Structure 1
Amino acid sequence: MVVVVIAGFSVQLAAGRSSFDAPPLVHAHALVFMGWLALYGAQAATAATGRRDWHRRVGWIAPWWMVAMVVLGCLVTLALVRRGGVPFFFTPLQFLIFDPVSLLTFAGLTGAAIVWRRQTDWHRRLHLCGMAVLLGPGLGRLLPMPLLAPYAWEATVAVSLLFPLAGAVADLRRTGKVHPAWHWGVGTILAATLLTELLTYSPAGTAIYAAVTAGSPGAAVAPLAFPPPPGG
């Protein structure tokens, strides 16, 4: 999963579709989210090599780091929507809803993993499900998103679910049954997806969009219309 995210951003950078010419808020967002990848990879390594002492010490960084991720992620989303600059394969309202919902879903699953840290079977599976929620931006830079519209976001969710489903299959092959943590993790992701769809196409979603974009260029953008592609 870490490789997927790094590959997605690296491909875009190599193709010239991404650059470091971005506002400080975006740089802060990038540093914090890439820092989570480093933290997640390090924790997986310490657990796999039996360094439980380091695993426990470093693990207490996670709750505080998640707070920064949720705050910065939401601020970047609001900034993009208000300036009318969301990716053209998402509608502005869908982007406004799915980003915060995804971040809160990640935080909920990861928080549950921390609470259940003494039950290591639950701990590692819930952590993996939480990490799967974060794959959208990386996958979106690898998948042919313009060709997947109007279901580009739903496609990234479907692909990200392959990782927890692979874990469930591994359990089934190894023990003959699927651990209940996978049911809770995948079920939570699916529930968040459904909530996003319901809010996006509801009067509540339209009201949220109007309140967020009031007094900004985004207010002139139709909430459920796909923006024109670059150069379109």
Structure 2
Amino acid sequence: MASLAEPHSAVAKDDRFFFITSLIMAAIVVAGFSLMIVTGRSSFASPPIVHAHAVVFMGWVVLYVTQNALVARGSIALHRRLGWIGAGWIVAMVVLGTIVTVRLVRLGHAPFFFPPALFLVLNPVTILTFAALTTAAIVRRRQTEWHRRLHFSGMALLLGPAYGRLLPMPFLIPYAYEVDVLAVLILPIVGMVFDLRRTGKVHPAWWWGLAAIIGSTVLSEAITYSPLGTALYRAATAGSPGASVAPLAYPPFPPLS
């Protein structure tokens, strides 16, 4: 009886861990974007495409929490049905994330703590890396330990913009991007520690997740600071106010009032 109870207990601990961390991730997102509204640095007067982007990305956060809650409650059938909605949702996230990024760069509104060319490159690379991790999780859906850890890593990667709103990014220049990525790595590392304490080893899915996150960072910077990065920036901003902004220089700080 004890041997039967132990696997069940381990599964319950896994379910609880992934549900609790999904709530933590959601709280980070809400805190980051709420801070922008409270401080007046964001408003609801943005164009429809920006609202659509926000709804789709926040919808993913809700779906991620819901999916983990369903597993924790044992509602596996509903979890599987909702999973196919998520598969289509990824496409909308990639498209809208890229459109909004290009729009901001064309307007000359890239965050001032990033060189505009880096912002143009890192957002599509990040969302495509998220899509790759999430697709891998779907492919591995019958291998639960792989499935949930790859999903976790993809979701952790999406926390970058939320961390960027919570961290003192202006004071982190010229390493704001790298510090933001270090923050993104925190929860996957927590997951690795959880595995290590529970089973005595780290599941290989975590290493793939970390490799994807770090790899996307290296790729973003390699493209940005190469002739390709400058060419992409010139092509994206042609005929727009952003064309007059130096691609690799930090934009001026916005006024305090």
Unpaired segments of 5 or more residues in structure 1? none
**Alpha-carbon deviations, 1:175-197, whole Å to 9, x = none?**
11100000111011111111011
Match of 1:15 in 2: 39
Match of 1:103 in 2: 127
Aligned residue runs from structure 1 range 17-36, under 5 A: 17-36=41-60
Q: Percent identity?
A: 62
Q: TM-score normalised to the size of structure 1?
A: 0.98
Write the distance in 2 (CA, Å) between the matches of 1:29 and 1:163: 24
Deviation at 1:48, TM superposition (A): 1.1
Tell me which amino acid in the other structure corresponds to 2:214: L
Check if 1:187 corresponds to 2:221. Answer: no
Aligned residue runs from structure 1 range 126-205, under 5 A: 126-205=150-229
**Alpha-carbon deviations, 1:19-56, whole Å to 9, x = none?**
10101110000000010011001001001111101100
Secondary structure, counterpart of 2:93 in structure 1: helix
Secondary structure, counterpart of 2:166 in structure 1: coil
Decide which of 192, 214, 218 is 2:242's aligned counterpart: 218
Write the distance in 2 (CA, Å) between the matches of 1:180 and 1:35: 29
Kindly report the root-mean-square deviation, in angstroms, between the aligned alpha carbons of the 2 structures.
Answer: 0.9
Structure (1/2) with the larger helix percentage: 2
Write the distance in 2 (CA, Å) between the matches of 1:26 and 1:12: 15
Q: Which runs of 4+ in 1 moved over 4 A?
A: none
Write the distance in 2 (CA, Å) between the matches of 1:212 and 1:142: 29
Tell me which amino acid in the other structure corresponds to 1:19: S
